[in-house]
Amino acid sequence: MSALDILSRDPGSQARAGVLRTAHGDVRTPAFVPLATKGTVKGLEPRDVAALGYDMVLGNTFHLFLDPGAELVERFGGLHEFMRWDGPIITDSGGFQVFSMGHGTVADEIKGRASHGSDRSGAMLAITEQGVRFRSYRNGEERFLAPETSMEVQAKLGSDLALVFDECTPFHVTRDYTARSTERTHRWLRRCLDWHASNGPDGQLVYGIVQGGVYEDLRRESTEVVASSEVDGIAIGGSLGADKDQIYEVTGWATEVLDEHAPDRPRHLLGIGEVDDLIRGVELGIDHFDCAMPTRLGRHGMALVPDPESRWRVDLTGARFAEADEPILDGCPCPCCSAGFSRGYLRYLLRAKELTGMRLVTLHNLAFLARLMGDLREAILAGTLAETAAALRAGAAPGTLATPG
Amino acid sequence: MSALDILSRDPGSQARAGVLRTAHGDVRTPAFVPLATKGTVKGLEPRDVAALGYDMVLGNTFHLFLDPGAELVERFGGLHEFMRWDGPIITDSGGFQVFSMGHGTVADEIKGRASHGSDRSGAMLAITEQGVRFRSYRNGEERFLAPETSMEVQAKLGSDLALVFDECTPFHVTRDYTARSTERTHRWLRRCLDWHASNGPDGQLVYGIVQGGVYEDLRRESTEVVASSEVDGIAIGGSLGADKDQIYEVTGWATEVLDEHAPDRPRHLLGIGEVDDLIRGVELGIDHFDCAMPTRLGRHGMALVPDPESRWRVDLTGARFAEADEPILDGCPCPCCSAGFSRGYLRYLLRAKELTGMRLVTLHNLAFLARLMGDLREAILAGTLAETAAALRAGAAPGTLATPG
């Protein structure tokens, strides 16, 4: 039985709306999942995240493995108890971060940004069939992550939804490297599932990860391999392309295969969270997404606004906002805009590096995406996704569309 | 008519409990006043500060003068509107900060800490009868603050309670310097009051500042000079002594004179906020206090606890808390403890420099002091201050004492 109850499918696209059942409660899908990288959504408390309407957060296995360590978190009763979030938690596998150190620029490439090297003082030392040896960015110690280690760490963290350990292949490697890497990822998938079958905590869902780079045959094959395994859900990872068109095309190859081979199982798109990407991802049949973008942008003073021309964002630190007394977004019900904080005040706080400024823009950005996903979900349930998606793409403010039906 | 309604006077001490009436509402006294240094209580929103039970905050004229500037804040409708705090606001005069740059270590000396020099890149260039010329720590520009400038800035900020511009004399200067400096402070008091009489905003209260260093005759004389002026209230500033006994003695000289010459006007003790100092200050007849301590300590991982042996604080970053699953304080109703965050989790967040960790300990510390002041106020009203003060000094947790009467 799938963990996902699909309540409605959009007749004009691959989109679905439903409820993901987890050991710590339900997640309304499609959903954006905020990052609680190091056991906290940066600057917020769990009560804030819940009040914004989020059902689930994502903790990073790599960071928690290095600090404070899975054993310590386990001694506290697991990640839920440690961070005092009693709703569902996804943990990633650590693969993305560990391979980012090695490949240097995978994060930028996946997001289609210019390469500028790694900002980690850690380093990958060796990839073998067994796993990955690397140097910790925290203290220079040598550490080892293998499929079994990753699953064991995630078991100790006690997440509701674990991701298998994969090699996150970057964009700049050859087709041949991608093919060999994807095959290893499939062998690691088997080891993860075997470990989990014997040792995994009750009720923890496991998602496989589709790799294959930007090569259609490799992506389709990888999707089939993952879908034919006993995974509870499927995550789509790795380099999805150099630009948005390619990202959508590559994602579409995977979800097309999934519609055929695993139509009912939940799907996660890794590391994607720009507004237009979320809309398109939902149309492509993705159920949940995670991305550092809304929270990271918020800390740097970039606020989400319904403006496709500016990639849905505005840099509040700009000089033109020095005297701006309007909120980030008129009528926005978020804790920042509804309290009447002006762009001018936020600019002042952000330039002065005040924690409150980072917090307020983070709250706004997460509230914005929560409403966006809510609009998409409601539209799928009402059978009006095409109109809603068109309106949002044209710059309608999330949460302001007429109630469908 | 005094802005302070004194509801009860403690028969066994100089303590009073009352209500301070301001243009933006009432302040229950005695009260601690959290610092909103640069237009925000660091890491918190106004709704957080209000929820903790605070009626009033203090904004720093010096910092707001340099950035974003009084004109800009005025264009936003004043500091209340700018920072979206609709309760009472005190602004200090800027004297403390500008003289800290010049004297280098006045802040440390006032607090009785070892001298370690200024951490400001700004510098005082000249003190004259007219005012103070200094170099901005923000951009190296030369700026000038005089009694009239300070009052004008505070008028533009639109605070409910303005402090006159004074020279904050440090501990290490001679008696002769202190005497001459205190006389200049008195001349500046006159200029501030004259400026305010012609130009001050309606409803803005003005407090004079008592100086005089640690010299009894100078303190008493300064107190008489301030009390005999038309100030709405009296602040006690400058170097109060090298240790707590001296601080209490010096404060007591001033409040003794005030009991005689200005028994009904409100009194503020500048920059004092340790738990035992607040208790003693209340007994000495102080109505409100401000201090960076609870918020600054919170950002550095020091939490307030009812433990006189450790100066009411515990360093949560200590290795011994790595596995500590208890909250900062059992039974504490603050947003941090009541949500069940453990010392071990807070230690992890604080060491990882996570904003959420700084925020949570700040919330705890301010909640702790709000309950402490609430206990003292209730006890004065009930006529049981001696018992309450003794219990708090002995390590009773604020907010847990039996309801008096």
pLDDT by residue (tens digit) across A65-79?
A: 999 999 999 999 999
Mean pLDDT over residues B282-291, rounded?
A: 98
pLDDT tens digits along A10-58: 999 999 999 999 999 999 999 999 999 999 999 999 999 999 999 999 9
User: In the sheet where B142-145 sits, what is the strand order?
Assistant: B123-127, B132-135, B142-145
Specify the range with the lowest mean pLDDT, choosing from A164-173, A256-265, B88-97, B156-165. Answer: A164-173
Question: What is the chain B residue with the closest CA to A363?
Answer: B45
Phi-psi region at A78: left, alpha or beta (left = phi > 0; alpha = psi -120 to 50): left
Nearest to A344 among B76, B339, B345 (CB): B76
Range list of β-strands (E), A123-274: 123-127, 132-135, 142-145, 161-163, 205-210, 233-236, 267-269
- The superfamily (CATH) of domain A4-291 is Queuine tRNA-ribosyltransferase-like (3.20.20.105)
Phi, psi of B65 (to 5 degrees): -65, -45
pLDDT of residue B367: 98
Q: How is residue A332 written in tokens?
A: 């926005």
Q: What are phi and psi of B132, to 5 degrees?
A: -125, 130
CA-based end-to-end distance of chain B? 31
Cβ separation of B342 and A75 shorter than 8 Å? no
Distance CA B39, CA A239 (A): 44
With cut-offs at 50, 70 and 90, classify the pLDDT of residue A102: low
Grouping H, G, I as helix, E, B as strand and the rest as coil, residue B4 is strand
> Are A342 and B76 an interchain contact pair (Cβ–Cβ within 8 Å)?
yes
For residue B138, the number of C-alpha atoms closer than 13 Å in the C-beta half-sphere is 13
Instruction: Work out the percent of chain A whose per-residue pLDDT is above 70.
Output: 94
Is residue B162 helix, strand or coil?
strand
Q: First CA to last CA across chain A, in angstroms?
A: 31
A217 in catalytic set: no
CA distance A140 to B208: 57
pLDDT at A100: 82
Q: Interior CA angle at B21 toward B59 and B73, to 5°?
A: 30
Q: Which pLDDT does position B170 carry in this prediction? A: 81
Contact B355 A355 (CB under 8 A): yes
Q: State the Cα–Cα distance between residues A310 and A318, nearest whole angstrom.
A: 14
Q: Which pLDDT score, from 0 to 100, does residue A99 have?
A: 85
CB contact under 8 A, A356 and B67: no
Question: Residue written as tokens 């409803």?
Answer: B203
Active-site annotation holder among A92, A160, A166, A287? A92
CB neighbours of residue A15 within 10 Å:
26
Indicate whether A205 pLDDT > 80. yes
Quote the Cα angle for B399-B404-B405, to 5°.
Answer: 160
Q: What angle do CA A244, A95, A83 make, to 5 degrees?
A: 100
pLDDT class of A405 with cuts at 50, 70, 90: very low
Residue in A20, A1, A94 with CA at minimum distance from that of residue A289: A20
- Looking at the complex, does the CB of residue B67 fall below 8 Å from at least one CB of chain A? yes
pLDDT of residue B99: 85
Handedness of CA A258, A262, A263, A264 (dihedral sign): negative
| Nearest CB to B359; choose among A68, A322, A355 | A355
Active-site residue, from A232, A277, A290, A375: A290
φ and ψ at residue A104, rounded to 5 degrees: 85, -50
At residue A120, does pLDDT exceed 70? Answer: no
| Residue the block writes with tokens 């500590």 | B324
- The residue ranges of every structural domain in chain B are 4-291, 292-405
Q: How many CB atoms lie within 10 A of CB B50?
A: 15
User: In degrees to the nearest 10, what's the CA dihedral of A353, A354, A360, A366?
Assistant: 40
CA dist B297 and B126 (Å) reads 33
Q: Given this model, what pLDDT does residue B95 score?
A: 87
Q: What pLDDT does A121 receive?
A: 58
Encoded tokens for A101? 């150190």
